[in-house]
């Protein structure tokens, strides 16, 4: 199906946007500042999203979810961020669905999806990255060895956000040593770990203090037993399954970056109209106008690429280049909007009560995670342009 038939550039899902906006109104900047001061998890916000059904947006209706396309989920996240809130506490529950929905067994879906949709279980943790391998996922060292009806797992993961506030964890492990694999992408397996049973039984979760309140942790795994029935898909083919989730993750987080960009521009424009210096609004000065106007143009352009990526994903078409391009463009457009907003507010941007510095710090993450700008550029250079591989 031609791409032009897949994408509608109008303001889509207006009802969702309106409803999420109303929900977010109950969680103003003071709510998020208080959480950050205490390094606390936004339980009330996550509960409100769960009870409203938004975290079950991608779960099919047969399992108690809304059965919406990925584009609708991206709109939910975009609206959350455009209204000054943060979806980082729970967005993984959306993009991990790609792995479970597409590759989980019928019994796994029946067991877990209704409980996740109802809010009885949280699937918000994703264990892939390791301290030594970093972005080189295929070199991960966490091993899982079959022992009867279980796998015994040993290794370490880092930057595993929300592990302390999730019931389930998708864990990528190596079940065949790299030297025994024909391809580096072979021999990896996805396990669904019940954190309620695992912690203290071979799994230790340690928090990592960071510049943003994302509840990030590292996992130390030593002899953790995971039932063999918790393998997602086939043993040894897990990397392909994870890629499905990664493309969804890039597209969804592109929505968040767009939302942040919209937030910064809206705040900056309102302030520039009201703030008067030298007897006139600062928004009358082109030094204020031009960075904001340029940021708006870049956001609108990035929005189109993000919609293209979502349309391709929902149509079941290859979307790797579009998903990565969307993530890169939205992250850079959002950061330009953040910088323009920070400059517009001047000294007041540093004051926590204005919430600019909090959102500014959060927005910077998009250029580093879930995939860095340089990794995206390398992927486009090698996959799209056909240049020699750099790694």
Which residue numbers are catalytic? 249
* Nearest C-alpha neighbor of 59 from the set 7, 127, 124, 118: 118
Report the distance separating Cα 98 and Cα 104, nearest Å: 9
Whose tokens are 């993000």? That residue is: 306
Report the distance separating Cα 159 and Cα 131, nearest Å: 9
> What is the DSSP code (8-state) at residue 68?
-
Residue 3 CB: number of other CB atoms within 10 A? 12
Q: How far is CA 189 from the centre of its chain?
A: 21
DSSP H helical ranges for 215-355: 238-274, 286-314, 320-345
* Nearest C-alpha neighbor of 250 from the set 161, 370, 138: 370
Number of H helices, E strands in the chain: 14, 10
- Token pair of 112 as six digits: 């877990």
Report the distance separating Cα 161 and Cα 124, nearest Å: 8
Alpha carbon distances (Å) from 274 to 221, 281, 286, 353? 55, 6, 16, 18
Report the distance separating Cα 23 and Cα 76, nearest Å: 11
- Cβ(348)–Cβ(112) below 8 Å: no
* Nearest C-alpha neighbor of 256 from the set 135, 34, 84: 84
């Amino acid at each position: 199906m031609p791409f032009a038939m897949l994408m509608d550039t109008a303001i889509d899902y207006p009802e969702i946007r309106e409803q999420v906006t109303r929900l977010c109104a109950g969680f103003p900047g003071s709510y998020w500042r208080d959480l950050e001061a205490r390094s606390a998890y936004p339980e009330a916000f996550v509960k409100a999203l769960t009870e409203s059904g938004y975290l079950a947006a991608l779960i099919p209706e047969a399992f108690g979810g809304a059965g919406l396309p990925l584009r609708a989920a991206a709109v939910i996240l975009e609206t959350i961020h455009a209204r000054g809130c943060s979806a980082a506490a729970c967005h993984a529950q959306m993009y991990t669905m790609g792995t479970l929905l597409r590759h989980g067994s019928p019994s796994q879906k029946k067991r877990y999806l209704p409980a996740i949709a109802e809010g009885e279980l949280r699937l918000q943790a994703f264990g892939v990255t390791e301290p030594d391998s970093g972005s080189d996922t295929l070199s991960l060292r966490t091993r899982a060895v079959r022992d009867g009806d279980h796998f015994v797992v040993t290794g370490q993961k880092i930057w595993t956000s929300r592990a302390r506030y999730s019931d389930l964890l998708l864990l990528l492990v190596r079940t065949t040593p790299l030297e025994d694999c024909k391809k580096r992408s072979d021999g990896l397996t996805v396990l669904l770990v019940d954190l309620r049973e695992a912690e203290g039984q071979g799994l230790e979760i340690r928090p990592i203090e960071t510049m943003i309140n994302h509840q990030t942790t590292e996992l130390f795994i030593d002899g953790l037993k995971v039932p063999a029935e918790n393998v997602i898909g086939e043993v040894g083919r897990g990397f392909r399954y994870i890629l499905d989730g990664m493309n969804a993750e890039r597209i969804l987080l592109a929505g968040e970056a767009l939302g942040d960009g919209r937030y910064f521009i809206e705040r900056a424009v309102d302030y520039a109209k009201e703030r008067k210096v030298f007897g006139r609004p600062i928004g009358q000065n082109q030094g204020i106008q031009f960075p904001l106007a340029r940021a708006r143009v870049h956001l609108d352009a990035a929005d189109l690429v993000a919609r293209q990526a979502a349309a391709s994903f929902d149509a079941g078409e290859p979307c790797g280049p579009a998903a990565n391009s969307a993530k890169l463009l939205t992250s850079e457009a959002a950061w330009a909007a953040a910088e323009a907003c920070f400059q517009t507010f001047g000294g007041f941007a540093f004051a926590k009560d204005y919430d600019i510095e909090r959102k500014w710090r959060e927005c910077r993450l998009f250029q580093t995670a879930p995939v860095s700008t340089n990794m995206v550029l390398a992927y486009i250079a090698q996959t799209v342009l056909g240049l020699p591989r750099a790694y």
